[in-house]
Amino acid sequence: MNTQETIKQQVSTHPVVLYMKGTPGAPQCGFSAHAVKVLNACGVDDIFAVDVLSEPEIRQGIKEYSNWPTIPQLYINGEFVGGSDIVSEMYQSGELQKLLKK
């Protein structure tokens, strides 16, 4: 399976996927930590997290897959949601919570 197939499989088989630097318990950047914090605030405790620092092919591949240049990247029910800023804005507006309940 190539990198793009691996990513497609990950986002299509897990309801919440976060491509991040580090892990939810030990984020390696502030933006990743913030994304985890927002998801936890929404009651999400089952995050399928991919540490892009330990998987360089995924780190580059996810940017190509989503056509989005930065990490973290959040996927909900197979759909790309956005990075840390978008996740934060969606949380503040209540949009993220609605998306997670679907």
Binding site feature residues for [2Fe-2S] cluster: 29
Distance CA 53, CA 4 (A): 17
Binding site per annotation, positions: 29
For residues 26 and 75, the answer to whether their CB atoms sit within 8 Å is: no
For 69, which DSSP code?
Answer: -
Measure Cα distances from 31 to 6, 11, 20 in Å: 24, 20, 9
